Structures are given as structure tokens and as C-alpha cells.
Structure 1
Amino acid sequence: MSESSRSLPDRPSLRFLRLEARRRLAAGEFTALWEAYLAIAREHGFSSWTALKQQVVGDSRPDPDEAVLDHLSWVVSRLAGASQPDWEPPAEQELAEHFEQSFLDRPAAGQLIEGLSTMARTGRLRDEVTVITQRARFIRAQAGDLRIETAGTNEPPHRLRGILAHRVGKSVTDTRVAAPPADVAGNVPQAVVSVAEQALGEVGLPGLVLAGVDDHGKPWAMARGWARLDPKEPLSTTHRFPVYAVSTLITATAVLRLAADGRLDLDRPANDHLRAIRLANGDITVRDLLTRTDGLAPLPEALAETVPGLAELTGPVLASSGVRGSVAGFISGYAALGALIADITGSPYPQAAARLVLDPLGMTGSSFLERWPAADERAVGCHMLDTSGAFVPAPAKVATVPAALGLWTTAADLVRFGLGWSSLLPAPLAEEATRPLARPSAGWQVGIGLGWLINESRGVAAASGGVPHGAAASLIVKLDNGKVHIALTNRGIPIDEVNGRVLDALTGS
């Protein structure tokens, strides 16, 4: 410590230091909480608040949830300062104290920092964090007009693995979404109507479809809002949506059907069946691909104007950049599974997936598109929110990897899939598909099955898919009774929270 620094008491309290920082902020000594934290750390001879915390905590293990909240609070406070004229963005070393390096190495990290800084300059991001949901190393919070979701690593100091942030409904200034129309099919529970009415405005959506089945197994669906805004077209329960990563469940089910027929072995190397492309690591099994533990390198592009040939996109060999056995991304692995399906069946992936999954389940409104659909194809228009709060069309780009992101479908078809996928498989294999076989890290409540995400605490198998190009989807299946819950929207923000509200409203949890 420097001679001019303050000394810590014999038994320093991190809670006292936090309160001191907030007291000095309230007194006007600082303009942002992070500045108060940093000043207190330096007064005690430390270069950063993180270093001070480590000294105070000592050898004891920090509370993971508290640590994640600390990191998130720093992010919000630090970037909210962008509204000040003398603000400078955080340097890489500063960011590395709060984010995992693997996240900072991605292009999305720089885009996130710039996006949050822009939101601060426009008054959308403020130096405050209101926690909405907090569970093991996961936080959903509100900061100004932004809804933020983040998760920390399992290992101390529990740095953030990334952040999702989007503006909520009070940011929307677009008068075209006022007085949204509604369309229903079947006997929609009143609790679902209430969730839809609340979520549309609170979250800020041009359109929302919720669907499921009643206690007698009869399907219902409700659409609220607009399929398109220019010209305006009311949203119906029969409109088709891009459901992005939910597509992986079609691929996984197709692979499992081939396994059930003896045409592949889940625990044999995937290269035993691949012809059009190969995996650089010949030890990667089909099971590794299904459980996202393959360690394959990311693909260069997720979206394009038309679907390219797979070898054109990936090259003839898929390289590895991660550790086999660790849960990571899924696009490269499911690209390989799509190629495997095509090579085994002798048909292009879209036709093979239709024959193996879509057709047997009567999913007549579902397909893998090679180009953006026209309005007369009963497809929604996808939207983003501009800086003024108005909805604008999202780029008309389709997924480059149909097997990972390419399905366009209806709510009714997703209900059919949720109810019927297991009937296509032997019971033991279907049961294994919804059993946690891998986890991002020890202690995580969400595990990875054979394609499915398994949340044991909620008793559900799920899939969700959303990208920053104008749409999102969530599919939940209750493991105890097979009930299906669907949420679709034509704005590219996470929709899982809304589907979770439906689940809670109907189960009373």
C-alpha cells in the first residue's frame, strides 16, 4: 500500500465499504457508483474494487450470486457514465476483471459495450440495477429502460460469461402498435390472455403468439398484435415464424430416428458417416454433437440472403477451437449433424428432416426456407427497435445452417412437435433425450440432453431461439405430464421469460 493510503480495519466489512460508496455517491462526491468504488479501492491502496474485494474476502469463497451481481452492477454503473462528456470507455484490462476472456474475444463483446454505451448516451441506461430474477449465478434485472440477463462462471471470482440486453416496452414510441388486435383458436385460458396483454406492452413487442394444450389434450392458441406494420397486417395464430435454435430439436429427433433404425451409433465417431464434410478431430462422436460438447470452431456467418452450400460455408473440414467434452456453442455441431443426416439418407437435409420428423407429425406449416419468404406466404415480418423507439424491418436474411437455425413454422405445428416427437422413438431413447447428459459447469440447473435443454428445478425440457434479426421462439414441455407451452414473437429479444409466465400462471407455481 502507498504511504498516503487508508488502512483497512482488522476485520473489514465489504457491506460497510459498499454502503460507504453509496453514501458518498448520494452526497454528490461522485457522478457514478463505479467511480465511488474505484476511489475507495485506491484510497485503501488497491488498483481496483475487485482487488480490494479479494483482500477483504481473503481465503473464504465469495458468494457466487453476490459476485455476479457485483459484476453486473459494475457494468451498468461503468457504462452508464457514457452520458458524461468526459467519459472514456473501459480498457481491456478493466473489462477482464468482470468478464470471462472467452467472451471478450468475441466480436459480440465489442458490439455489446458500444450498444450499452449508446443506450446510456440516449438516456436509456441508468446507474441503477433492479433485480427481477436471481438464481444460481444467473440474474435478470432492469437498468433504466433496459432488461438485462447475465450469468457468471462457476469458478471464483465468477466473472460474467456474457450479457443479453434489450429495451423494454416503455422505450417503444411507435404508435402503430397501439390497440393491438387479437386472434384465438380453441379455448384459450384466461390466465394466458392476461399474460399476453401484459407482456405485449411491458416487454415491447409488435406481435406475440402463445399456444399450448388444455387438460384434455386439446390445443389452443392466441395471437395478439401485428404480423407486419408497413402495411399493417393483424397477427393470426396461423402465421409462420422463424424459430432459429428450436430447429435443433428437429435435427436431434431425426438423428435419433436414424439411431433407432440402426443406421448410426451415437457413440461412434461422426466421421464414420460424414462424406461431404469432415471433422478435424476424428474422435468427436454423434453424441458429442447432440450435447454440444464437440469443441468445434464457430462458423463464420449465421445469416445470409440465401442458404449457401455447407462446404462453401464451412470448408471441407470443420476445425476445433474448444475442448471436446465442454459445453459450448451448437451451430457448428448441428451443421455437422445436418450433413450427417443428408449423407446417411442420400437426400438434402430439408427433405430428409421433413420425411423423418415433419411429415409423420403432420407439421404441414413447417419448412426450411432457402430465401426470405414473401408476405403472401403467411410469414410474419420481423422487427427491430431503432434508437427513437420505432419498429423497423429486420434484415431479410435466412439461416446459413438449416439444421441449426433454419426452421419456419407455426405455433400449432410446434405444439404438434412438442406432443408427438417422443412417439417417433423407442421409449428408452426418448427418455434419454430429456435426461441431463452435460452441463455448462458444475452446479448449473440447466443441463443438455440429446438436443433438449433440461431444467430439473422447473421439471421441463425446453428449446429457445432468438437472434438480433427480428424474431424469437420458446418451446417448453413439462416432463411430468407432457404439457406443451409455446411463445413466438416477431422482435428479436428473449421470449423465454414470457413463456415462463404462462407456465407459472397455468401451474400455479
Structure 2
Amino acid sequence: MSDQSRALPDRPSLRYLKLEAKRRLSAGEFATLHQAQLAIAREHGLSSWTALKEHIEAAGPASHALAQVRWVMSRFAAADTPEWTPPDEEELRRHFDDHYLSLVPPDTLTGMASSVAQRLREDLVDVRAEPLRLRARVADLRVEAATEADPPYRLSTLRLYPLETKVKDPRVAAPASRTSGAVPEEAAAVAAESFAELGLVGLIVAGASGDGSVWVTARGWANLDQDEVLLPDHRFPAYSITKLITAIAVLRLVADGRVRLDEPANAYLRTIRLADDAVTVRELLSHTGGVDNPASMFADRVPDLVSVTGPVAACGGPRGTFGYGHGGYALLGQLIADVTASRYEEAATRMVLEPLGMSNSWFPRSRPATRVVTGHRLTDEGVFERAPAQISIVPAAGGLWTTAADLVRFGHAWSSLLPDALAREALRPQAERDDSPGGQAGLGWGLVLPKDVAGHPGAGPGFSASLIVRPGLVSSGGGQTWVVFTNRQVLVEPVNERLALPIP
């Protein structure tokens, strides 16, 4: 143990000191982590690790956001114990503003915080605190928070999302970066931070401003084994974001008078029928038709749809209640094919991709090989390996391959393909979602109206994707769009939220 006194730097890092304690424990200098932390604290003239932590936090500006997050941590840290009593709504309203609780109702908030109780018992590290904002880490969670500008400084934003902590692959240590268009500084910063925090092989972040100009930043590798740098024009599978393409194609048929939203879908289906004759086109679009999902969604090639659903598609779910799934959109793809007398892929390309200039987007029948990224997965040893090279077996539910720029073009201009009234109807809530706090289902779109955002995620073997738009702006002819692609299956919605909903 060192007996020398040390001075803290001007901007001390608790994260660095904690890693230093672990390093000295691993080197055999101490028997326990507590002893190593205590020694480091005393070397810096403080009596305990807690005192050192408080001293470091006090060295920065007083942070109302930090104080409120500490309340959350202390209040919910014991939520997984029998004697714990949850806060009532009145108590929560003393710490969260009304707008936040309109987005995340008290019961949902309590459940969210309680689910991570064990993590909340650990120390905050990597703390970046300002008077009204906080960015930090606790255990394997990223914490982002903001408060009101005036007393009592209640939380107006609180985000907790998982980080990846076990990547040990040295090949991703120094990622290359490539850009196209005028990338905003904040987007470049989000891409750099997210690449490290989520443990990625490749990451693309893209967007468009109100005038439709597209920017793309790519970071990392398209194929790690071949040391192939990821470029802005590499193609990714969009997976379930494809459902938006399908929804707009159906709505174009509605606009042309060839399909009616509230007619039974079986009025238009010829090759495959629904077991429930009453399920409408609107219900299929809004995931309220109760259609069963395929047993599997991925394979080496796209089979005939009838071999996936059978000649009569089962409807075992409750009709009229939101239940996200792929089966309903499989039947919408067949509906498009039957009404247009062409394959779904051809009709969707003709009605959606081509009018929007999405020339680098298509629906392959097997895994494409040209200018596409390779999916990866992380082994238990923390090393990346190639993910299975499979594709969605239902083109209308998950078969689109595209570039970030093409998907931005879709997000920016999809409403131009429809009459204004029908575009507004697509963004009108059709059902309450059961998988997203404050979320609702439009026609294809997932909606969070209080945040004025709409979008759709996509994920499958080796890949993740996210599309978010501001519908209030898009429906009026302008707008903003954000796209995230990765070639590893991880949760990327928080990355896109940081772009679309920055903490003020």
C-alpha cells in the first residue's frame, strides 16, 4: 500500500479511480475491493470511498438533476425487497413534473424503476453533471436526466437504458469514421459515444433537416473478419421497418379506391384467406386483427407465403386489441399482391420505393452479397463472430434491404404519396399499445403523441434498426427524420431518441 499523498486533478474522474482500485486489486496489492478503494481515498486525503465520491461530485457545479437522480436511486434501491413500499402519485409528483408523468404514468414509472432496483444500489460513475442536466452510469445502465428550470427542479426527463459491458474484441478498438452530407456535431457525438457504450461493430446514424437534405455518419466495420470499413452507402436489412412500406402501399390502394380501410380483408384476399371473415384492413394495419404469427421469421431463402401461413391464416388473438405481430402484415402483403395482380415486392417497389427515389432499396429473395453489411453477434468470451446469414421469410413484414439515406428519404417524404386526409389518418391513434409507455398504434406507425414522434424499430439476427420522424412536421410537408442502423442485434432506440429528443 502506498503511503504517499496524492492530489486530485482539476476534473477528477470517479470512474477512473474505481478502475484503478480494481486494477490494484487484480495486481494482488489488496485482498478486497473495499480495501483498495479505502486506500485510494486516503491517498487523496479523504477518510472513506464515500467521502471521496462526495468530494468529486461537489467539485463540479451544483446539480439539481444529480440530486433528483440520487433521490430516485435511494427511493427505489430496495424495491425488490418484501418490506419496501412504493411511492404514491403525490410523492412522485414532488420529483417528476406533470409533463413527464403524462408520458410515463406513475404506475409505469414505479414498475420501470423497480425493475432495476439491484442496479440502483451501486454507485453512480462517469458523472457529467450540470445544474439542470445529468449524464452518468450506474452498473450497466446509462442514466440521462434533466430538470425544470425553476424550483422545485422536478425531473422533466429520466432515461435508463442498458449498455454493453463485455466486449473484449481488440479489433473494434479504433473504429474508422466516414460521412456524407453536413453531419450535425451533436449527431457525430452521439454516434461516437453510442458505438463504445453499446459495444458495436458498425453504426450508422443518419437524418434529414426540414429542406430534405440528407446526412449520414458511418462508424466501424461492415465486415470485421475482412476488415471492411463501414461506408454511408452500405445496405442493411430494415426488418420490421418494412411494415411501414407495406402500410403506405396499402394506403395508396385506398387512395385509388381499390381498397377500403373498414372492409373485411377477405374481400380482397384470393390466394390466402383469414380464418376470421370479419377482420378489416384497418385492423391488420393497426395490429388489432388477432392474426397468428409465423412460427419462425428467418431462413436462407423466402418461401411461398402459403407454406408459411397455410391457405387459411389462423386468427387466435383477441380482435380489436393491440397485439404487435408479423402475421397481419404477411396477409397485407398478399392483399397488395392480389389487388395489383403482381408480386408484393414488385408492387411495393412501384408504389413506394420508386416514387421516393429509393434506388438503393429492394426485397431480395435470398441473402444479398453486393455492398451489404455482415451481421455480427458477441460470444460469451466478448469476441465478435459472424451471425447467421438469414433473411426474413415474409417480405411484407421484414424483407426490405436499404441504405440509411434511402430510409431517411422515406421518413421525410412518405406523406407526399398520399392525400393529406389519408396521411393524417395514418398518424391518428387507432389503439393503445401495450408495449410502450404512452404509446399508440397508427396505421403502420408507432406513435408517442406527447413527444410528437412516430416511428418503427427493426431487429433480427445480427442487425438492429430504428426510424423516428416528427409527424407534426412531416404531415405539413417539412419535417425531420432520424435513422440508426447497426450490424449487431442490440437495443438502438435510445440512440435514436437522443437524436430526435435531445435533453434541453
Pair in the same fold by TM > 0.5: yes
Flag structure 1 segments of 5+ consecutive residues without an equivalent. 1-17, 26-32, 41-48, 78-124, 133-140, 149-164
Give yes or no for the alignment of 1:490 onto 2:482: no
The counterpart of 1:244, out of the listed 239, 243, 260, is: 239
Give, in whole Å, the separation in 2 of the partners of 1:272 and 1:128. Answer: 58
- The Cα of 1:214 is off from its aligned counterpart by 3.3
Check the 8 A contact 1:298/1:329 in 2, yes or no: no
- The Cα of 1:70 is off from its aligned counterpart by 6.6
- The Cα of 1:65 is off from its aligned counterpart by 3.4
Give, in whole Å, the separation in 2 of the partners of 1:385 and 1:475. Answer: 24
Normalising by structure 2, report the TM-score: 0.71
Residue 271 of structure 1 aligns to a residue whose secondary structure is: helix
Give, in whole Å, the separation in 2 of the partners of 1:248 and 1:231. Answer: 32
Once the two structures are aligned, what percentage of the paired residues are identical?
Answer: 44
Residue 444 of structure 2 aligns to a residue whose secondary structure is: coil
Residue 501 of structure 1 aligns to a residue whose secondary structure is: helix
Q: 1:292 to 1:436 in 2, by over 3 A?
A: same
> What is aligned with 2:412?
419
Residue 368 of structure 1 aligns to a residue whose secondary structure is: coil
Check the 8 A contact 1:73/1:129 in 2, yes or no: no
Give 1:422's aligned amino acid: S
Give, in whole Å, the separation in 1 of the partners of 2:75 and 2:443. Answer: 50
- The Cα of 1:440 is off from its aligned counterpart by 2.1
Give 2:115's aligned amino acid: L
> What is aligned with 1:273?
268
Q: 1:205 to 1:67 in 2, by over 3 A?
A: same
> What is aligned with 1:203?
198
Check the 8 A contact 1:473/1:486 in 2, yes or no: yes
The counterpart of 2:374, out of the listed 381, 393, 400, is: 381
Aligned ranges 1:47-446 → 2 under 5 Å: 63-65=106-108, 67-69=110-112, 72-73=115-116, 144-145=139-140, 168-374=163-369, 377-440=370-433, 444-446=437-439
Give yes or no for the alignment of 1:503 onto 2:490: no
Residue 291 of structure 2 aligns to a residue whose secondary structure is: coil
Give 1:218's aligned amino acid: S
Residue 433 of structure 2 aligns to a residue whose secondary structure is: coil
- The Cα of 1:225 is off from its aligned counterpart by 0.8
Give yes or no for the alignment of 1:477 onto 2:474: no
Check the 8 A contact 1:180/1:225 in 2, yes or no: yes
- The Cα of 1:129 is off from its aligned counterpart by 10
Q: 1:304 to 1:20 in 2, by over 3 A?
A: closer
Task: Give deviations 1:71-116, integer Å, cap 9, x for gaps.
Answer: 5247xx5xxxxxxxxxxxxxxxxxxxxxxxxxxxxxxxxxxxxxxx
- The Cα of 1:373 is off from its aligned counterpart by 1.7
Aligned ranges 1:31-50 → 2 under 5 Å: 37=81
382-391 or 277-286, which moves further after superposition? 382-391
Task: Give deviations 1:322-346, integer Å, cap 9, x for gaps.
Answer: 1111000220000010000011111
Check the 8 A contact 1:183/1:235 in 2, yes or no: yes
Q: 1:130 to 1:355 in 2, by over 3 A?
A: farther
Residue 372 of structure 2 aligns to a residue whose secondary structure is: coil
Q: 1:175 to 1:262 in 2, by over 3 A?
A: same
Flag structure 2 segments of 5+ consecutive residues without an equivalent. 1-72, 89-104, 128-135, 144-159
Give, in whole Å, the separation in 1 of the partners of 2:404 and 2:109. Answer: 39
Residue 260 of structure 2 aligns to a residue whose secondary structure is: coil
Give yes or no for the alignment of 1:453 onto 2:446: yes
Task: Give deviations 1:353-400, integer Å, cap 9, x for gaps.
Answer: 1111111111111111111122xx110001111111111111111101
Give, in whole Å, the separation in 1 of the partners of 2:435 and 2:239. Answer: 27
- The Cα of 1:241 is off from its aligned counterpart by 0.3
Give 1:217's aligned amino acid: G
Normalising by structure 1, report the TM-score: 0.70
- The Cα of 1:219 is off from its aligned counterpart by 1.3
Give 1:503's aligned amino acid: A
Equivalent pairs, count: 387
